[in-house]
Amino acid sequence: MRFLLCSIVLLAVGCSSAYKGLTPSPVDKVCAERMRPKGIGTSWYTTSIDVVGKHLSGLLLVKEMPDSSRRVVFTNEAGITFLDFEFKASGAFQVKQVINQLDHKAVVELLRKDFALMLGIPFEGGSYTAWSTDTEIFYGVAQKKETAYFITDRECGSLRRLELGSKRKRKVSVTFVGADHRQPDGVTLQHYTFNMVIVLKKLER
């Protein structure tokens, strides 16, 4: 766990611009609303986290609560809770529980942004800016010094992935397995500024 913390905080590296080729485009409001990530419904996932050669595994619960808040709870096979995050309907975020090894501001903030992106939370306001390439449309929402994107094909036929990036760097991508993004069969969250991958596979119960 200590090695995981050091890796997250210290091993970020530079990379060339991933967004240099984007061209500003008009927003297709119909496409944007149809393709906007609506979040993951209540589901259990077997989960692995690989950071610079170190591995964690367990079960992750995404749960929609009666008050429209969402909980993300990650436990190991023995039932020990690594983290329990609450994303409130108001937009507030609360750490309900986190183990000491992860209880550091930089780590919690990184994981908060990861799970918020996975749940589609940055896109709930419905106001987007659009850019295009030869094959894709990027719908973006400003997040302080970063931008969260959901990315479709040019024909608005499929949601290809989610990304979080700065002006120059692609930092995180989220891809889904299966046609139903509300109940995906799997999710892969890939970091690009350091070597970290989170892989979720739906647990049939």
* pLDDT per position as a tens digit, 16-33: 578 888 999 999 999 999
Using 50, 70 and 90 to split pLDDT, how confident is the model at 2? low
Question: Quick one: pLDDT at residue 1?
Answer: 53
Position 142 in a domain: yes
pTM for the full model? 0.89
The 10s digit of each residue's pLDDT in 49-101 is 887 777 889 999 999 999 999 999 999 988 899 999 999 999 999 999 998 88
Q: What is the pLDDT of residues 93-110, one digit of tens each?
A: 999 999 888 888 988 999
> For residue 47, with 0-12 CB atoms within 10 Å meaning exposed, 13-18 middle and 19 or more buried, which class applies?
buried
Residue 108 lies in a domain: yes
Per the domain annotation, does 13 fall within a domain?
no
Question: Is residue 8's pLDDT more than 80?
Answer: no
What pLDDT, on the 0 to 100 scale, is given for residue 186?
Answer: 97
The stretch 130-135 carries a mean pLDDT of 96
CATH number at 26 reads 2.50.20
Question: How large is the average pLDDT for residues 172-200?
Answer: 94
In a domain, 14, yes or no: no
Is residue 152 a part of any domain in this protein? Answer: yes
Q: In this prediction, what percent of the chain has a pLDDT beyond 70? A: 92
Cβ(8)–Cβ(111) under 8 Å?
no
106/119: higher pLDDT: 119
Strands (E), the chain: 23-25, 43-51, 54-64, 70-75, 81-87, 93-98, 129-132, 136-143, 146-153, 159-165, 170-177, 186-191, 196-202
Residue 159 sits in which domain range?
Answer: 2-6+19-202
For the ranges 12-21, 28-37, 113-122, which has the lowest average pLDDT? 12-21
Q: Per the domain annotation, does 148 fall within a domain? A: yes
Q: Does residue 146 lie within any of the structural domains?
A: yes
Total domains in the chain come to 1
Q: How confident is the model at residue 125 (pLDDT cuts 50, 70, 90)?
A: confident
**Residue 12 covered by a domain:** no
